[in-house]
Structure 1
Amino acid sequence: MIYKVLYQERLIEVPVREKTQSLYVEASSEMEVRQMLAQRPYNIEFVLPVDGDYLEYEKQNENFKVENV
């Protein structure tokens, strides 16, 4: 399954919508996504599963790229 991760670049940053970044990761669960990204200094806000029509919509975004973590 593909997950969309919304995060801040630095752990100490307070979540502000205008500074929120996103990336896409393929994993079997939300926990696996969080474990894969644990080494990065990200302040993870949300991990959202992306499938069906929502996935097709996200694929239309020019920044859509599934990362290999």
Structure 2
Amino acid sequence: MLFKIYYQESISEVPVRENTKSLFIQGESERNVRKKLSDRGYNIEFVQKVEGAYLQYENQNEDFNVLEI
């Protein structure tokens, strides 16, 4: 499954919409994705499963890249 992660780059950084970044990652579940990213020190705000029409929409974005971990 593909997940979109909304995060801040530092675990100590307060979530602010303007500073929120996102990335895509393959995983078996939300828990699996969080475990894969645990060593990066991200402050993960939200993990969202991407499928169907939403996946097609995101595929059209030129910044669409799936992180390989």
RMSD over aligned Cα, in angstroms? 0.4
After the TM superposition, which parts of structure 1 deviate over 6 Å for at least 4 consecutive aligned residues?
A: none
Identity %: 54
Unaligned runs of 5+ in 1: none
TM superposition score normalised by structure 2: 0.98
TM superposition score normalised by structure 1: 0.98
Describe the superposition over 1:2-40 as per-residue Cα deviations: whole angstroms up to 9, x where unpaired.
000000000000000000000000011000000000000
Distance 1:62 1:8 in 2: 21
Distance 1:28 1:9 in 2: 23
What is the aligned partner in structure 2 of residue 30 from structure 1?
30
Unaligned runs of 5+ in 2: none
